[in-house]
């Protein structure tokens, strides 16, 4: 089994879009959500060369599956996306500070750090600010990507990013902000104090250097 692991609202649809486009293989959605279809099955404003005919033509055990929590079974490969906790935790609870729903974010990071198999980390923010680097790193990790397909994606990367937002017939949260710093700046008063304390306490409990170094926490 291969997994694409992320806390919700961390850019997994964008990553799945380019995984399918580069490999010409489908990705699987969350198993508990039948409406979470492979990206190639979405309806886009124009044709996109996924070159994937039908999901039934592929062995599901060889495909990447999206998941939002640490798996309970052994896996072969792991792609992990992490987003600034100050943004993604508030995004997932619609600005409401609900600390009871935040522990899974850190559980996913714990799983990534403890996993000793083949793995790749992507920061959500880097997906937006350095598109060619993300595409090249993704293609390199996935292996077997055709050079012509990689060239096509890199040459059309901005257009493809825009198209990735427009897919219909899928279960997702949509694009709700235009930048990297959006939700946290709106938090004020006692809620902000409580939220900041929760983050600080969590960061202090373990060696979360991947958060400290990236986000200055």
Domain residue limits, the chain: 2-215
Res. 167 pLDDT band, cuts 50 70 90:
confident
| Interacting residues of 139 by C-beta distance below 8 A, sequence separation 6+ | 22, 145, 150, 153
| CATH 3.40.50.300, domain 2-215, yes or no | yes
Q: What's the chain's average pLDDT?
A: 92
Residue 64's contacts (CB-CB under 8 Å, 6 or more residues apart) are 2, 3, 4, 16, 19, 27, 28, 77, 79
36 phi and psi angles, rounded to 5 deg: -85, 80
Percent of the chain with pLDDT over 70: 95
pLDDT digits (tens, 9 = 90+) for 51-95: 998 988 898 889 999 999 999 999 999 999 999 999 999 988 888
Q: What is the pLDDT of residue 181?
A: 73
Of 23, 54, 60, which is closest to residue 41 (Cα–Cα)? Answer: 54
Give tens-digit pLDDT for 92-126.
888 889 998 899 999 999 999 999 999 999 999 99
- Contact criterion met (CB below 8 Å) for 153 and 18: yes
């Amino acid at each position: 089994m291969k997994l694409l692991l992320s806390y919700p609202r961390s850019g997994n649809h964008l990553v799945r879009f380019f995984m399918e486009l580069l490999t010409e293989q489908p990705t699987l959605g969350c198993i508990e959500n039948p409406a979470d279809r492979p990206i190639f099955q979405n309806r886009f404003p124009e044709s996109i060369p996924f070159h994937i005919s039908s999901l039934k033509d592929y062995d599901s055990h060889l495909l990447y599956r999206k998941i939002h929590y640490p798996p309970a079974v052994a896996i072969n490969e792991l792609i992990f996306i992490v987003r600034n906790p100050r943004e993604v935790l508030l995004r997932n609870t619609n600005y409401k500070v609900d600390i009871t729903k935040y522990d899974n974010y850190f559980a996913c990071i714990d799983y990534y750090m403890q996993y000793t198999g083949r793995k790749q980390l992507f920061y959500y923010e880097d997906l937006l600010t350095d598109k060619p680097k993300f595409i090249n790193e993704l293609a390199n990790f996935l292996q077997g990507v055709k050079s012509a397909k990689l060239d096509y994606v890199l040459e059309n990367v901005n257009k493809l990013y825009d198209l990735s937002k427009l897919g219909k017939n899928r279960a997702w949260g949509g694009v709700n902000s235009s930048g990297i710093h959006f939700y946290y700046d709106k938090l004020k008063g006692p809620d902000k104090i409580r939220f900041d304390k929760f983050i600080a306490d969590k960061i202090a409990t373990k060696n979360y250097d991947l958060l400290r170094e990236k986000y200055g926490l």
